[in-house]
Amino acid sequence: MDQDPVAESLECFAARCADPAAAVYGRLFALHPEAEALFLMDPGGHVRGQMLAVAVEALLDGGGRLAGLVGIERMNHLNIGVPLALFDGFFNLLRAVVRDALGADWTPAMAIAWQARLGALAGEKNSDANHLAAGT
Ligand code: HEM
């Protein structure tokens, strides 16, 4: 039995969704059509797959070892034209896709655990990025 409801929800999502990456990026491009052009150099989807894998890893890690990596990626993404708000919204988008795919199997424990995990990730934002965004 899985101890972590976030991991449990992701496992359930992977088990019932034939193409998780297509579900995630389909929703991203529907909400933010401008983001699709950023992936023109990735026709095979390898970069997208890798990016999703790293984001999921960071999510499962909570505020642990990979929190610094997320902070660094925020800055890297700013440089390639991904605004901070869009970057940060990716984790919320992931939650929405997983929640919708699980339907009635999305439990209150999952909702609580996801909320806490998203909060932990937001709290670990790179302070350099915050200074930059604030112009300080
Ligand atoms: C909507 C939000 C996001 C957009 C539009 C976006 C866009 C992109 C783009 C265009 C690339 C390719 C960069 C290049 O090779 O020139 C990329 C790569 C990458 N992104 Fe994101 N990103 C987003 C959110 C995230 C998040 C939340 C993470 C979590 C850490 C992340 C992690 C990565 C990683 C690790 C790569 C490198 C993948 C590889 O080539 O191995 N991204 N992203």
Cβ of residue 39 lying under 6 Å from some atom of ligand 1:
yes
How large a percentage of the chain has pLDDT more than 70?
88
Dihedral sign computed on CA atoms, order 118, 127, 85, 47: negative
Please give the CATH number for the structural domain made up of 5-124. 1.10.490.10
Report the alpha-carbon distance of residue 128 to residue 27 in Å, rounded: 30
pLDDT (0 to 100) of residue 66: 83
pLDDT (0 to 100) of residue 135: 54
Q: Residue 125: helix, strand or coil by DSSP?
A: coil
pLDDT (0 to 100) of residue 57: 94
pLDDT in tens, 89-104: 999 999 999 999 999 9
Cβ of residue 47 lying under 6 Å from some atom of ligand 1:
yes
One-letter identity of residue 134: A
Mutate to test the pocket of ligand 1, among 52, 66, 77 (most ligand atoms within 8 A of CB): 77
Mutate to test the pocket of ligand 1, among 51, 86, 88, 117 (most ligand atoms within 8 A of CB): 51
Report the alpha-carbon distance of residue 51 to residue 16 in Å, rounded: 21
Report the alpha-carbon distance of residue 24 to residue 10 in Å, rounded: 12
Low pLDDT (below 50) residues in the chain: 126-127, 131
Cβ of residue 92 lying under 6 Å from some atom of ligand 1:
no
Report the alpha-carbon distance of residue 7 to residue 13 in Å, rounded: 10
Count of other CB atoms within 10 angstroms of residue 117: 21
pLDDT in tens, 22-38: 999 999 999 999 999 99
pLDDT (0 to 100) of residue 134: 56
